[in-house]
Structure formats: C-alpha cells, structure tokens
Amino acid sequence: MSSAVLVLEDGRTFRGTTFGAQGRTLGEAVFCTGMTGYQETLTDPSYHRQIVVATAPQIGNTGWNQEDGEAASAQDPNKIWVAGYVVRDPARRTSSWRSTGTLQDQLEAQNVVGIAGIDTRALVRHLRTRGSMRAGVFSGDALGTSDEMLEQVVGQPSMLGADLAGEVTTGAGYTIEPSGDARFTVVAVDLGIKTNTPRMFAERGIRVHVVPSNTTIEQVLELNPDGVFLSNGPGDPATADTSVALTRQVLERELPLFGICFGNQIFGRALGRGTYKMKFGHRGMNIPVIEHTTGRIAITAQNHGFALEGEAGEEFDTDFGRARISHTCANDGTVEGVELIDGSAFSVQYHPEAAAGPHDAAYLFDRFTSVLQEKK
C-alpha cells in the first residue's frame, strides 16, 4: 500500500495508506457515527462534496452488493456521492452472502479517493472540538509538500453558501408506481432523494412522481397531486430560494406537504424561519429526537450540517397559519421538525425512510398518508 495524507484547513495532518483510488480529493471533513450501513452512507446524495470519516473502527466487512444503494437520482443507485472516505481499519476479507464485490474495488472503480490506517478517534475529537472544516486527501502523484497541499485545501469553496441540490437532482422526472392500485398521487421534489423514499410511499399505495429541483408550480399541478414531498439533499439551504418559492406556492394552494432533512429546512424557510451552519452537524443512525406533542422519543438516522432556528415547542405565526417547532434533538436541542398546527404540512430533519435503519420514525409516512386521506 502506498502512503496517503489527510490535510485539514487548520493545518492538522493525518498520515496513513491509500484506500480506494489514488489521487486528490477535496471536500468538507465530517464524521458519521453509524456502526453499519456504509454502502447507504456512501451512496446518499446528501453527502455530495463531503469527505466522510467513519467512527466505526472496521469498515468493509460486508463488502458491496447491488441492492443497498441509495443514489436514486443517478442512473446507477450504487453511485458513490461522497467526495472521499476516511477509515481506520479496512476489512481484509468480505463476509456476507449478499456481497457481489469488495468496498475497495468499488471505491477504485468509481475513482473515490480515501485514506486508511489513521487514528480516527483523534480525528473525530478534533472535528468535534474545532468543527467540520475543509479538507483534502492526497496520495500517489497528488502528494506534495505540506504547504502545497494546505494551499489546495484552503483554496476550495466552503460548504457555507454552497448551492448543491441542482448538482444531484434527477435530470428528468420519473414515476414509481405502487404494487397495487394507487390510492393517492404525490409529487416528490428531488433535492437529492434516496432510493428508499419512493419505496416507502409505494408500500402505502401512493404513486410518486419524482421531479427535478427546478420544477415549477405549474408543472407540479399538471400532475394533479394529492400532496407534495420535499426530499433530503446537500448544501446550504440559504441558497435554495427556488425551492422555497415553490414550497410557498404549494402551501398557498393548501396542498398537503411533507419534508425531510433538507426539505425540513426548505419548509422552515418558507414559513419564515432562518437557518444556520452547525459546528459539526448530525451524521449517524443513533440520534435521539423528542416529539413534543407526545413526548415520544425516536432513535433516528441523520445527515445534516445546517439547521433551522427555533426552540422546543415554540409557536409562531406564518403566512399560512400558526406553526410550531414540533421536534428537537435530545442531545443538543437542535430543531428536528416543524409543522403547521392544523396538521396539513409538516417536516422533520431526520430520515424516516432510514435505510439502513433505525425504523422508529417510519410512522411519519403513515401520518402523511392520513393527511392525504383527510384532504381527499
């Protein structure tokens, strides 16, 4: 194995060995606390332009398969969206009956530059202290002096102000049909949607029209939807003015609305709330969230570096009626959901479709189905 270097924008460096392709990659260094599900993480469009650090010490033991990819917007659901991958101990042997290849081979095939053999505990402690920051992984011919590599890292744009949804959205609309008769029709605005989301709707008898992020309200209405869904996605929600405008137009027409992750931030902005960049974000599948109307706590999968402004249980006026902060994170109080009090529109910051788990929040799809039923 040849040598590789991870360089952070504050000058901290970690030296290890190549993992995946050789070369150079730049992005924002973030850490993910999921113990399993690395294939779902790597193929999640929300990780576009991010170098993901795995806190689990060993990665790759279940290999790679053709079923678990989440890159719904791409022709290949197994397209890897992360900018780079940082692990401590790559598995030497694949052990899963579902595996069709190794993680190493897949990273190489998709030209994803990574690094292995570094102290990921020290790296994560550094990112938790200093915050997520610009970074680069260098190996092979891309290796240079410390100053040369640091110059490339600090020369890249920040995630703050990054408009990325348009880079991951589908190029053309497509439809996912339910297995039986369609009870309802939903238009899903693809801001970086995951494969499992339309599947969750289809299981509930809902036809899903997935449309590009720049779709107009006229194009939405032509599909005669019973409701509208705003998906997850990457980037700074403060840049997504087009999606916010569409959301307001949907609310003006009193169509039921459901949003997740990036969609939560878009919905919140449409209601007049601001957003901000978090210090190191929430990324993993073990994050507790409190639903304030019931006191119920769900263990959730999350991937976000931005959040809505607000406090637990806060109520406020909007152009579309009274609203409230419905969910917050039990760890740090971050806003995790917002809703119109009349129940017609709501969103959460986490992933109720949650491939590869947990499934505590899957009931939210049932809740939206009930809203569609009441409206109809």
Catalytic residues: 261, 351, 353
- The string of DSSP codes covering 271-304 is TT--EEEEEEEEEEEEEEEEETTTTEEEEEEEEE
- Residue 168 tokens read as 């991951």
Report the alpha-carbon distance of residue 84 to residue 144 in Å, rounded.
Answer: 18
CA distances from 322 to 127, 316, 317, 343, 370 (A): 38, 6, 5, 10, 20
Question: Is 127 in contact with 17 (CB distance < 8 Å)?
Answer: no
Question: Is 234 in contact with 164 (CB distance < 8 Å)?
Answer: yes
CB atoms within 10 A of CB 315: 9
Instruction: For residue 259, say whether it is annotated as part of any ligand binding site.
Output: no
Instruction: For residue 95, say whether it is annotated as part of any ligand binding site.
Output: no
User: Exposed, middle or buried, 166 (CB in 10 Å: 0-12/13-18/19+)?
Assistant: middle
Report the alpha-carbon distance of residue 311 to residue 313 in Å, rounded.
Answer: 6
CA distances from 222 to 165, 186, 212 (A): 23, 12, 14
Instruction: For residue 46, say whether it is annotated as part of any ligand binding site.
Output: yes
Instruction: For residue 265, say whether it is annotated as part of any ligand binding site.
Output: yes
Element (H, E) at 151: helix 146-154
Residues forming a β-bridge with 347: 259, 338
Instruction: For residue 233, say whether it is annotated as part of any ligand binding site.
Output: yes
- Residue 320 tokens read as 């579309």
Instruction: For residue 346, say whether it is annotated as part of any ligand binding site.
Output: no
Name the DSSP class of 261: T
Question: Is 320 in contact with 147 (CB distance < 8 Å)?
Answer: no
CA-based nearest residue to 306, from 274, 353, 284: 274
Instruction: For residue 50, say whether it is annotated as part of any ligand binding site.
Output: no
Instruction: For residue 63, say whether it is annotated as part of any ligand binding site.
Output: no
Residue ranges for the binding site? 46, 233, 235, 262, 265, 303, 305-306
Residue ranges for the binding site for L-glutamine? 46, 233, 235, 262, 265, 303, 305-306
